[in-house]
Amino acid sequence: MKKNRRIVMPLLVFILVIGGWELYVRAFDISLYILPSPSKIISALIENMDILMQHSLVTLEESVLGLLISTFFAIVISIGMDLSKTFKTSIYPYLIVTQTVPIMVLGPLFSIWFGFDLLPKVLIVIFMCFFPIAISFTDALSQVSEKEINLLKSFGANLFQIYKIVKIPSGAIGLFSGLKVAATYCVGGAIVGEWLSSRAGLGYYMLRVKNGYMLDKVFACVLMIIFWSILLNLGVSLLEKILFPHLRKGERK
């Protein structure tokens, strides 16, 4: 019963909001360039699916590439901070500082330095995704049981074996928690980059149709962004289940 309620109640709220939105637009005859109705948005989504998919491929390339690079560096730096207290003390404050710099300031700078191609968008995605992965994984590694580590050492395990057998599997829950957040952020980061400097992508297309006051296409673009963000998040969850099947509801093996 409770499980059904968790599905039915959000669905009911969604139907009420969308239904109320549709009725409001129709009842007050709201112009398309002010607020399109959900039916108009769905129509625009279907009619422009080809061009939306073309721009989606550009945005996904930027998003996934940035996510992969940020994940690699986050893992390396997190392990480095776990290995060395000095290294952690030296670099940790700068990780915090990176999150205080507004992306809208960095975007134009990246465009000036690196042009209007792929690189500046990927850098923005890396900037947005690196922090949650690094912090979550670092915290998870620091909480690994010392008893398990000492047991492995008593059997003569070297540093590589300790990380392979205990630290990485136990810290994976933190790694994937950060990855799920980053997977949701990465598309938004690519969109911001495309707003500031691009020749293609969902952000570029959104600006074009917004400047033409075609708000039904703007909302259709937003739906595509939501779809890809959710899909990437689900992809990370699936990868977690494949690589670390022992992780269930925050439990560790």
14-73 per-position pLDDT tens digit: 899 989 988 988 888 888 888 888 999 999 999 999 999 999 999 999 999 999 999 999
Q: Are residues 216 and 238 in the same domain?
A: yes
Q: Are residues 50 and 8 in the same domain?
A: no
In a domain, 253, yes or no: no
Whose structure tokens read 């721009």?
Answer: 55
Assign residue 47 the CATH number of its domain. Answer: 1.10.3720.10
In a domain, 150, yes or no: yes
In a domain, 252, yes or no: no
Question: What integer is the mean pLDDT of 135-160?
Answer: 82
Q: Are residues 150 and 121 in the same domain?
A: yes
The single-letter code of the amino acid at 180 is: K
In a domain, 160, yes or no: yes
Q: Which two tokens stand for residue 73?
A: 């560096």
In a domain, 249, yes or no: no
Q: Are residues 24 and 111 in the same domain?
A: no
Q: Are residues 136 and 147 in the same domain?
A: yes
Q: Are residues 86 and 123 in the same domain?
A: yes
Collect contacts of 220-228 with beta carbons under 8 A, ≥24 apart. 220/41, 220/42, 220/44, 220/45, 220/48, 220/52, 221/52, 223/41, 223/45, 224/45, 224/52, 224/56, 225/59, 225/187, 225/188, 225/191, 228/56, 228/59, 228/60, 228/63, 228/187
213 phi and psi, to 5 degrees?
55, 30
pLDDT for the residue 221: 94
In a domain, 146, yes or no: yes
Q: Are residues 25 and 116 in the same domain?
A: no
Closest CA to 183 of 234, 107, 136, 139: 234
**Cα–Cα distances in Å, from 151 out to 142, 155, 158, 171, 233?**
17, 7, 12, 18, 36
Q: Which domain holds residue 70?
A: 33-243
Question: What integer is the mean pLDDT of 93-112?
Answer: 80
CB 200 within 8 A of CB 25: no
Q: Are residues 143 and 210 in the same domain?
A: yes
pLDDT for the residue 118: 84
In a domain, 127, yes or no: yes
Q: Which of 55-59, 88-92, 157-161 has the lowest mean pLDDT?
A: 157-161
The mean pLDDT of the chain is 86
Q: Are residues 135 and 66 in the same domain?
A: yes
CB 233 within 8 A of CB 186: no
Q: Are residues 93 and 158 in the same domain?
A: yes
Q: Are residues 123 and 144 in the same domain?
A: yes
Q: Give the pLDDT confidence of 73-87 residue by residue, as tens digits.
A: 999 999 999 888 888
Instruction: Identify which has the larger pLDDT, 249 or 34.
Output: 34
Q: Are residues 102 and 200 in the same domain?
A: yes
Please state the domain count of the chain: 2
Using CA atoms, how far apart are residues 223 and 77, in angstroms rounded to an integer? Answer: 35
Answer yes or no: is pLDDT of 110 > 80.
yes
CB 129 within 8 A of CB 180: no
Answer yes or no: is pLDDT of 251 > 50.
no
The whole-model pTM stands at: 0.84
pLDDT for the residue 1: 62
pLDDT for the residue 103: 78
In a domain, 157, yes or no: yes
